[in-house]
Chains A and B, each alone.
Chain A
Amino acid sequence: METADRQIVAFGGGGFSMESGNPLLDDYVLGLTRAERPRVCFLPSASGDADHYIVRFYRAFSAHRCEASHISLFRREQGPSDLRRHLLSQDLIYVGGGSVVSLLGVWRAHGIDSILREAWESGVTLCGLSAGSLCWFAEAVSGFHGEPKRLRGLGLLPFSNCVHYERGSKRGEAYHGFLREGMRGGYAAEDGAALHFRGEELHRVVASRPQARGYRLDVAGSRVVEMQIATTFLGDRDAPHAAPLPEALSTAPAA
């Protein structure tokens, strides 16, 4: 028997949460499902299930191209009662941004952590940005609040991860520090770049912005070796590139 194609797409930042008017990353993950009308479930847990965020998800994943749903763990009396069955029946599970610490706490309380592993192993594509990217890795750099912190994720991917990896960012500096202190090697992605894994292997890096990049980071002795990864821009390179619109977001871009 063929094993299911396990896929995770971890955005450094981007998609409908952060790039209004630029659907390239969202289109990419929908395309991976190979379903005509993919079933997509949004998990906004990291935002505390913020209403405005859920509304924006349904706007971006409209009914004419997919069958969209969401799970609010703060309002369990609404929505699917059998979480496992619902999640395992999806083609794509999309995890929103916000507080990764809160995200992992709430997921554990509802048993979502083990369901997501099962979904991944059975071939449901997993994706997300920011907190929704960090969560898939063994270790993560969270800069959601105050000084960047080192924390453990679900561990589906045996690497470390850092999101919003913009030049000169505090997170980037902290990530290098953690690596020198013994954090396992891993991957970083800038806003607009997404790390696409098949199984536990990085398959490719794609981007919704021409300049956005992904990176591989390892430690050699006490030195951090950072390597830029060839990144495929998903748009038309010759088209005039509109700068992503800043969104008045409360929670999504943080992690």
Chain B
Amino acid sequence: MCGIVGLFIKNPTLESQLGELIAPMLSEMTERGPDSAGIAVYRDPNDKGCKITVLAENLDFDWSDLEESLKASFALKKITVTQNHAVLTLDSAISEVQDWLNENWKELSVTSAGTNIEIFKGKGNPADFIEQFDIKSMRGTHALGHTRMATESAITTEHSHPFSTGQDLCLVHNGSLSNHNRLRETLRRSGVQFKTDNDSEVAAGYLSWRLSEGDDLDQALNHAIDDLDGFYTFAIGTRDGFAVMRDPIGCKPAIMAETDDWAAMSSEYRAIATLPGAENARIWEPEPTQIYSWKRSLE
């Protein structure tokens, strides 16, 4: 069991309250996932360069060395440290920075890369995570969150969701995949890298691989229906919105709701009930294998 929440702001005046609105949603899903929590937030775009979130193993990691060496090699705009995560904002090519990090900073792992996305995650109770990462103060256009109840692999920060699936893309998953071991090996041979033995990371890797092969998100998800065996409700964050899809059996729960101000998804209605105007929202259950998505128009 896990809990998923997603919130997409339609009314721009609410963007300043994104964190304040999604924090109670995440908190409400604690019983579905008390082991760890995570959030992907889309905000403060750095369109001409990139933003990369990196994760250190320990809280006492000294970020000043990284900052110095980034400055020496790239056009670093800023580095924002929160707990054991740091968001690097650079006016440099994303692939160069990622390659350089892989080469020189093996003790760090990249949780997200793109122009808008930032991913934070941690072990422990979602309430502590919300506090430590000051989720309530986050502004932004949309966010996805996850609370995890580990069933098939260890409880570590790296096993926690969301998983990055490419630039400005991420995945949160409720369910379990049964063919992830074989699929992981197949994907590894195609060059996809994995950090853990987690099944959801395989789904993320699979989507990344399909997208790198030229699929758009809808095509990648449709291929996933054929190639992933198991139960899943997926929520996929993109630069300008998010998408939701359930497996053909559809036994993992999902509920969606929309008002003029926001669109939201969650594993259970009680998370959506925390949103303003939820009682009068249009509410429905997503059909199995149907892809539902929200996008903001990019001007």
- Are A and B physically bound partners? no
Interface residues of chain A, those whose CB is within 8 Å of chain B, are none
